[in-house]
């Protein structure tokens, strides 16, 4: 039986709140299995862009990334946010190593082709382009890789890539080598039947139920690409996919996705 590997994606509101981020990482340090962390930071990046006089533009949950935006999100995700997460993990006794997709050539992507929308410097992760050998060596050495939402194209170009997609791609690529658990951690207790009622967590969702929850609008906004990525990972051999509150990862309330 292969080892368990837990991949935690942390996003949105929590990453920009140092007290909550610190609480999440303290809980994470209590998880005994091998782990990888993937962080977003989209909300904070939008705030920083606005502070610098650039109006953020999102289409279907993805950021239109021109050259100036790429410079700023690279500084924000791969610099400040990534190093802050690494430092807080070190404080908690976890030997974390911060990475973008360019470091060690771990994640290659292709600039999204222009169709109806020109997303600019946004990268889609190429199938079979995750350097799993290096990741296995890092994990074997007891390190916890911490990924930001920046990848590269192998030709010297950095690309902005959605953090949920990075987490899902890593999970799929590593599924042949580990029993991978993919955890999407955010500020709600799980997928909610009523987005305004924290007590309405749906304990389990099948692909069929997901389609009807999406059609009825119960699951909307950022939750749709997140769950699309999540079900794709499950179909590609990831053992378990969980949607949960970042501050309650060691508590039982959460949503677990089912294959059927
Ligand atoms: N049924 C639902 N259950 C939970 N959250 C939902 C639901 N429908 C829509 N959402 C919204 O989706 C958001 C999460 O998506 P997003 O902001 O993209 O994630 P992240 O914070 O991980 O980047 C939640 O904060 C919530 O406002
Ligand atoms: C291409 C694209 O949209 N990239 C995302 C990367 C950050 C991210 O995914 O952050 P959250 O997980 O916090 O939303 C962005 O710039 O917003």
38 lines ligand 1 (CB under 6 A): no
| Ligand 1 probe mutation, 15, 197, 222, most atoms within 8 A of CB | 222
162 CA distance to ligand 2 centroid (A)?
4
Is 42 annotated as a binding-site member?
Answer: yes
What pLDDT, on a 0 to 100 scale, did the predictor assign at position 221?
A: 86
Cβ(58) to ligand 1 under 6 A?
no
What is the structure's pLDDT at 101?
Answer: 98
Closest ligand 2 atom to 61 CA: 3
What ligand 1 atom has the least distance to the C-alpha of 13? 21
Q: How many domains does the chain have?
A: 1
Q: Is 152 exposed, middle or buried (0-12, 13-18, 19+ CB in 10 A)?
A: buried
Q: pLDDT at position 13, please?
A: 84
Taking the CA of 165 as reference, the closest ligand is 2
pLDDT of the residue at 222: 85
- 225 pLDDT band, cuts 50/70/90, is confident
**pLDDT tens digit sequence for 201-224:** 999 999 999 999 999 999 988 899
CATH number of the structural domain spanning residue 166: 3.40.1160.10
Other beta carbons within 10 angstroms of residue 43's beta carbon come to: 16
Q: What was the pLDDT predicted at 166?
A: 97
Mutating to test ligand 2, I would choose from 13, 16, 24, 42 the residue with most ligand atoms within 8 A of its C-beta, which is: 42
pLDDT at 12: 72
Ligand 2 closest atom vs CA 15: 13
pLDDT in tens, 249-259: 999 999 999 99
| pLDDT value at residue 4 | 98
> For ligand 1, is residue 222 a contact (CB within 6 Å)?
yes
Nearest CA to ligand 1 atom 15: 222
Q: Domain span at residue 246?
A: 4-257
Q: Which atom of ligand 1 is nearest to the CA of 40?
A: 23
Q: Check pocket membership of 122 for ligand 2, CB cut-off 6 A.
A: yes
- Measured from the alpha carbon of residue 221, the closest ligand is 1
Q: Is the CB of 182 under 6 A from ligand 2?
A: no
Question: Does any ligand 2 atom lie closer than 6 A to the CB of residue 162?
Answer: yes
**Confidence check: pLDDT of 123 > 80:** yes
Residue pLDDT, tens place only, 147-202? 999 999 999 999 999 999 999 999 999 999 999 999 999 999 999 999 999 999 99
Whether 140 has a binding-site annotation, put simply, is: no
Residues 137 and 139: their CA atoms lie apart, in Å, by 5
Residue 82: pLDDT over 80: yes
User: Tell me, what's the pLDDT at 117?
Assistant: 97
The reply to whether ligand 2 has any atom less than 6 angstroms from the CB of 88 is no
Minimum-distance ligand 2 atom for the alpha carbon of 46? 17
34-72 residue pLDDT tens: 999 999 999 999 999 999 999 999 998 899 999 999 999
pLDDT band of residue 260 (cuts 50, 70, 90) is confident
């Amino acid at each position: 039986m292969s080892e368990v590997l837990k991949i935690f994606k942390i996003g949105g509101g929590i990453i920009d709140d140092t007290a909550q981020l610190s609480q999440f990482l303290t809980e994470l340090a209590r998880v005994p299995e091998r782990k990888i962390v993937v962080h977003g930071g989209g909300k904070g990046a939008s705030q920083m862009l606005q502070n610098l006089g650039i109006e953020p533009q999102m289409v279907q949950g993805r950021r239109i990334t021109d050259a100036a935006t790429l410079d700023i999100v690279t500084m924000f995700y791969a610099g400040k946010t990534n190093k802050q997460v690494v430092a807080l993990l070190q404080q908690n006794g976890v030997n974390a190593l911060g990475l973008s997709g360019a470091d060690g050539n771990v994640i290659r992507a292709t600039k999204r082709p222009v169709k109806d929308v020109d997303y600019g410097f946004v990268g889609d992760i190429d199938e079979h382009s995750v350097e799993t050998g290096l990741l296995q060596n890092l994990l074997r050495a007891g390190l916890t890789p911490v990924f930001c939402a920046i990848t590269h194209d192998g030709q010297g170009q950095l690309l902005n890539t959605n953090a949920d997609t990075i987490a899902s791609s890593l999970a799929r690529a590593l599924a042949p080598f580990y029993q991978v658990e993919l955890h999407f951690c955010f500020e709600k207790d799980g997928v909610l039947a009523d987005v305004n009622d924290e007590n309405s967590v749906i304990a389990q969702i099948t692909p069929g139920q997901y389609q009807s929850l999406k059609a009825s609008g119960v699951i909307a906004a950022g939750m749709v690409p997140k769950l699309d990525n999540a079900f794709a990972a499950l179909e590609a051999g990831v053992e378990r996919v969980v949607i949960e509150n970042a501050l309650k990862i060691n508590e039982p309330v959460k949503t677990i996705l089912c294959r059927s």
